[in-house]
Structure 1
């Protein structure tokens, strides 16, 4: 490809529902048979306080606990959270560089200070951004946005602020990028000359598409989560 596919960055402050927004966008795209890989990490509360995160592999719908505030000598400590080795291995496998012939969209929820310090998903992000990649969606806290863009040299970020953005419009923009990616893969694999009017139109998002995904989507995409930060 002559240029890299875009990286959509869903951003906002702590507690502004970045993961919830991402969840809805993914539900719409999966409803259009987009092949999604990566992870989403809904948080959970205990006594009204964020106490941990669950990790979901978007390609399979499988779950693994990623971290909690409960001390554990087996775990990597980052801030006040203890990251389970099983959760880290699970996530690193899910974030391995995808086969471009089998992946339309890569998701990383979320990229933050731990990655900027070289931990958690930092190595996977280095590998994902080192070569041409499918369109990606990352979630990033607003105060870290510019640092993350500079750290991974994201040349064409599409910033989506949850405070003002529309889920539907974001999903449409993602689908446009996915369709361009699919076309690029098709024409690079089959070098045939194009004729006027040959461009395949991307399917329009249907107004009645379920925000949680189609019946054939992984079960996790049909669940509802509370706000996250």
Structure 2
């Protein structure tokens, strides 16, 4: 039985929204949910970067920004130290203390941090159910290794599945 669920789809398909709705229902059911989310940063309506946020504590840092001097992913510089610090603390705490770990998302910005990759591997190898989003088109050896794991179930976000996906993820977690 897979312990890890990957929500996949193209950009703007609804991966994050499906995870947010799933987390809300899990918390309403009294489940402890931890992990990481990476919301956009906007200024005057324009996306200028992304934060990285610990779901359990609310601790946050700028992960990538147009004004950050770091490895470039698209037009954003990545703060590798911030990604590593929050990944290490949020994911290790979540795998030990939570009923479900969420990672939104497995993507090039996060993969700039070796600590993120190491912490993600540990979470995926654990007994705690993991819900993670992953872009459908991204190709990277680590992402390919995650997609091809035998303990992974893949949930595709399409216009037809988008609204029903949170309920399917909830059912998947309950049966895990």
Matched, 1:173 2:168: yes
TM-superposition CA deviations, 1:146-193 (whole Å, max 9, x none)? 9766412422323231433244x4333333343344xxxxxxxxxxxx
Contact 1:105 1:135 in 2 (8 A): yes
Please report how far the alpha carbon of residue 32 of structure 1 lies from its aligned counterpart in structure 2 after TM superposition.
Answer: 0.9
Change in Cα spacing, 1:68 to 1:116, as seen in structure 2 (3 Å) is closer
Q: Deviations over 1:31-84 (max 9, x none)?
A: 111111101111123455431111221112232222211033xxx313232233
1:185 corresponds to: none
More strand by share: 2
* Structure in which a larger fraction of residues adopt helix: 2
Question: 1 CA distance for matches of 2:83 and 2:140?
Answer: 28
Picking from 7, 10, 15, the partner of 2:12 is: 15
Equivalent position of 2:28 in the other structure? 31
- RMSD of aligned Cα (Å): 2.9
CA contact 1:19–1:109 (8 Å) conserved in 2 = yes
SS in structure 2 of the partner of residue 11 of structure 1: strand
**Aligned residues of 1:53 and 1:67 also touching (Cα < 8 A):** yes
How many matched pairs? Answer: 171
Gaps of 5+ in 1: 182-229
Closer, same or farther: CA 28–144 of 1 in aligned 2, 3 Å: same
Contact preservation (8 Å) 2:6, 2:132: yes
Paired position in structure 1 for 2:155: 159
Whether the aligned pair in 2 keeps the contact of 1:35 and 1:105 (CA below 8 Å) is yes
Calculate the TM-score normalised by the size of structure 1.
0.62
Is the CA contact (8 Å cut-off) linking 1:13 and 1:142 kept in structure 2? Answer: yes
> 1:93 aligns to what?
89
- Which stretch has the larger CA shift, 78-87 or 20-29? 78-87
SS at match of 2:49: strand
The equivalent of 2:38 in structure 1 is 41
1:104-137 residue CA offsets vs partner (Å, 9 max, x unmatched): 11111111235667756222222223x3432211
Which consecutive residues of structure 2, in runs of 5 or more, have no partner in the other structure? none
Answer yes or no: is 1:133 the counterpart of 2:127.
Answer: yes
Q: CA deviation at 1:10?
A: 1.9
- State how far apart, in whole Å, the 1-side matches of 2:51 and 2:141 are: 26
Q: Which residue of 2 aligns with 1:112?
A: 107
Q: Secondary structure at the match of 2:105?
A: coil
Q: Does the 8 A contact of 1:4 with 1:132 survive in 2?
A: no
The structure whose Rg is larger is: 1
